[in-house]
Amino acid sequence: MTTRRKFLMTAPLAAGAATLAAPAVHAQGAPIRWRMQTYAGAALGEHVVKPAIDRFNAIAEGEMQIELYYADQLVPTSELFRAMQNGTIDAVQSDDDSMQSPTEVTVFGGYFPFASRYSLDVPVLFNQYGLKEIWEQEYAAVGVRHISAGAWDPCHFATKDPINSLADLEGKRVFTFPTAGRFLSQFGVVPMQLPWEDIQVALQTGELDGIAWSGITEDYTVGWADVTQYFLTNNISGAWIGHFFANADRWAEVPDKLKMLMEVCFEQSHYYRQWWYWGGEADLRVNGPKLQLTSIPDAEWATVEERARVFWDEIAAESEVKARVVEIFKKYNDVMAKAGRPYRYS
């Protein structure tokens, strides 16, 4: 909060004023300086973004430096897009949904129900099935450069009471993403939106009954496993879709070789998460001492998956772009199902 107050005190007060991000013209020999804020708190950020930024800064050798800020340090997560768009900050790591991007693809960021089964689905969807081009077009239209997309962890419930049936979800106040909450509300879940840093206390005080924001790796990493007792093995998504973005004008000012370096470092960050989450999810289910595993029977959970397809069609009806994305999800999942093991299990 101290960092945010200092930032806001020195930020521009009038529209059109010079921003605090890197100026259009740099003094000869002076490094380009960017501010990047991530959706993640400090404990999680140590894994999902800091190694990539540290590596970029080291290899750039003084030509450019990215200052990294964690969840809500400069602006609330829900205001990240606007702050980046207007140049108050230069770059963001987030999903589209929680930073409330004004695009047609925002609803698909974070956890779009059952769009992916495994983390590898995400890069394939973007690089082989056309999502990359759609995201680039949508963000270019609003003054933002979409740099790259990657997978994070699956979406599970961690709760204070055991969940063994859909009926157990009724009335549960759950911290989750906007679109995931919209989908889960039909099963009696009460979606809650709070600052990331307040979640652990909200679980302790009873303001929240649980979270559907991550997999078990994050539950342990950020401390949520200390204030919940149960982990539901069923998930509504196999991988969170997150991205790196930059203000388009700031991006244009960066020399090509530094753009390439940034892209390479961010791709390495995506790769790191592939194995960190994949190994962590399995290990903590088996060896983690804090959370008791529960499951909703497959036959009952199948009704949730069926409702997800209805939800997809509802979203597709909202716009042409959304319909294109949903059609890609359908085509991709159909191919995976027909391919069979190990791509999909019946």
* Segment 10-24 mean pLDDT: 40
CATH number of 155-239+287-339: 3.40.190.170
Chain Cα centroid distance, residue 24: 30
Higher pLDDT, 196 or 199: 199
pLDDT digits (tens, 9 = 90+) for 73-82: 999 999 999 9
* Res 16 pLDDT > 70: no
Residue 7, pLDDT > 80, answer: no
Model confidence at 129: pLDDT above 80? yes
For residue 123, the model assigns a pLDDT of: 98
Pinpoint the alpha helices (H) of 61-128: 80-85, 121-128
pTM (two decimals) = 0.90
- When pLDDT is averaged across residues 166-181 and rounded to a whole number, the result is 97
Topology match between the domains 2-13+23-104+114-151+241-280 and 155-239+287-339:
yes
List the 144-151 sheet strands across, edge first: 64-69, 32-38, 91-94, 241-247, 144-151
Percentage of residues of the chain with pLDDT beyond 90: 90
Nearest to 150 by CA among 74, 221, 94, 97: 94
Mean pLDDT for the chain overall: 92
Q: How many other CB atoms are there within 10 angstroms of residue 212's CB atom?
A: 25
| CA 66 to chain centroid | 20
**pLDDT tens, residue by residue, 236-273:** 999 999 999 999 999 999 999 999 999 999 999 999 99
The pair of three-digit structure tokens given for residue 286, joined into one six-digit string? 């088996």
Instruction: Determine the pLDDT at residue 22.
Output: 44
Rounded to 5 degrees, φ, ψ at 135 are -65, -40
> Above 80 in pLDDT, residue 21?
no
Give the CB-side neighbour count of residue 80, counting CA atoms within 13 A. Answer: 29
- Parse the chain into domains and list their residue ranges: 2-13+23-104+114-151+241-280, 155-239+287-339
Highest mean pLDDT among 10-14, 87-91, 196-200: 87-91
Q: What is the pLDDT of residue 30?
A: 83
- Residues 290 and 225: beta-carbon distance below 8 Å: yes
Categorize the per-residue pLDDT at 27 as very low, low, confident or very high, splitting at 50, 70 and 90.
very low
Give the per-residue pLDDT at 13.
35
User: What pLDDT was estimated at residue 15?
Assistant: 36
Q: How confident is the model at residue 28 (pLDDT cuts 50, 70, 90)?
A: low
Residue 345: what pLDDT?
Answer: 83
CB count within 10 Å of CB 104 equals: 20
For position 5, what pLDDT does the model report?
44
Spatial distance between the Cα atoms of 328 and 98, rounded to a whole number of angstroms: 22
Per-residue pLDDT at 19 exceeds 60: no
Whether residue 79 contacts residue 67, with contact meaning beta carbons closer than 8 Å, is answered with: no
Domain 2-13+23-104+114-151+241-280 belongs to what architecture? Answer: 3-Layer(aba) Sandwich (3.40)
| Segment (H or E) for 93 | strand 91-94
Q: Determine the Cα–Cα distance for residues 78 and 68; give it in Å rounded to an integer.
A: 18
